[in-house]
Structures are given as structure tokens and as C-alpha cells.
Amino acid sequence: MKWVSKRDLTAIAALLLAALLLLWMRNGGAESGARFEIVVEGKIVLSGGLTPEREFILDGWPDMAFAVQGGRVAITRSDCPDKTCVRTGFIGIPGQISACLPNGLLIRIIGDGGVDAVI
């Protein structure tokens, strides 16, 4: 079996170029007006703007903490075993999510239109 061919490198270059193009399009999108939604089992339990800076907790979730900072939002504390949600850190680009699978909770960022970001 051959390891790598010239055609592979062309295809890889094309993929990287596509990624760059998508990244450029993403940053060109409207970042202002983005909001966050905290969703539990498909239901939005809290929705808010990415300003002003604040820390908060949710009713019924004493072991989790959230923070809004620098136009982004994060799960800052969680009692779940894997802590993936906390490690995800701050998110603020429409489409980004920070999910805590063990707790069945997630934060998602929606664009200013809201509807266009939802399937």
C-alpha cells in the first residue's frame, strides 16, 4: 500500500483552502446581537444577551455555575465527572455550543436572527 500520493496532497490543500474560506465567511458574519440559550432536554430554560458581564446559577442546578465575560459565555463550574463543559470554556460565535452530556444541559449561541441558526 502506498503511503501518500501527489493527488492526496492536492486534495488536502483543497480541504484546507475550503476550511479557510469557511472561517473567513464565519468571521464576516454578524457577531453583534448574538445571544445564548441554555437548553435542558430540548427546552430553553434561560436565554440572555452576551452583555453585561455577570456570573449566575440556574434554579435547580446548585452544582453548576455560568459566566458571561467579554461578549462570551461559559459553564464555569459543574459537578459532572468529565468536566468537558468547563474545559470547553467561553463561547460566543453563533452555532457554538458548550455541552454537559452527563447533566443533559447545553448552552448554544444563536445569531441575531435566531431562526436562521436553527435547523
Partner 1 sequence: MRSGRKIAFLGILLGVMLVLSLAEGMLPPILPPFGRIGLANIVVLYCLQCLGWREAGTMVLLKAGFAFITRGTVAGALSLSGGLLSFGALLLLLLITRKRATLAALGVAGAVAHNIGQLAAFSLWAQTNVFPAYLPVMLVAGVLTGFATGTVFRLTLPLLRRVDML
- All 3 cell numbers of residue 109? 449561541
Whole-Å CA distances, 11 to 6, 14, 19, 22, 25:
9, 5, 12, 17, 21
- All 3 cell numbers of residue 24? 473567513
In 3-state terms, what secondary structure has residue 72? strand
In contact, 58 and 38? CB cutoff 8 Å: yes
CB-nearer residue toward partner 1: 1 or 52: 1
Q: Is 84 in the site for partner 1 (CB under 8 A)?
A: yes
Q: Is 115 in the site for partner 1 (CB under 8 A)?
A: no
In 3-state terms, what secondary structure has residue 22? helix
Number of residues in contact with partner 1 under rule CB under 8 A: 42
Q: Is 108 in the site for partner 1 (CB under 8 A)?
A: yes
Cβ at position 80, least distance to partner 1 in Å = 12
Q: Is 57 in the site for partner 1 (CB under 8 A)?
A: no
In contact, 73 and 86? CB cutoff 8 Å: no
Cβ at position 52, least distance to partner 1 in Å = 23
Binding site for partner 1 (CB under 8 A): 1-5, 7-8, 11-12, 15-16, 18-20, 22-23, 25-26, 29, 39, 42, 84-85, 87-89, 93-99, 101-102, 106, 108-110, 117-119
